[in-house]
Every structure is written in C-alpha cells, then in structure tokens.
Amino acid sequence: MLEADAYCTDILVQVSAVNAALNSFNKVLLANHIRTCVADDIRAGRDETIDELVVTLQKLMK
C-alpha cells in the first residue's frame, strides 16, 4: 500500500485489521498452550512453567 501511495487512513485501517487478526490468533494459541504444555508440565510437577506463563502474559499485555 505504501508503494502504491495509498491514503494514510486506508493504511492505518489495514494495520488495525492485521493487529486484530494477530490478537485473535494469539488468544487461540495461548489457550492451546495452557491446555496442553502448561497443564502437562504442572501435572509433571514442573511448577516453573507457571512463572514462564506469567512472564509471557506480562509481555502480551504491554
């Protein structure tokens, strides 16, 4: 769009749409990670996974 000299507002709308799509993907991926990897690690006694999850959530919530 930049190379095609699109109107700035149109580019901003497209960037917003991409961000929304990535956020939706992150929610699905995070839920899957918690249901599988995190749950498995907790069951196996690897509680450090909880700390890793907290750090990951903090990064995502910036």
DSSP state string for 19-62: HHHHHHHHHHHHHHHIIIIIHHHHHTT-THHHHHHHHHHHHHT-
pTM of the model as a whole: 0.78
pLDDT at 3 over 90: no
Residue type, 59: K
Q: Which two tokens stand for residue 28?
A: 């699905």
Separation of alpha carbons 52 and 41, rounded Å: 11
Going by pLDDT thresholds of 50, 70 and 90, the confidence category of residue 1 is confident
Segment 5-34, tens digit of pLDDT: 999 999 999 999 999 999 999 999 999 999
End-to-end CA distance of the chain: 28
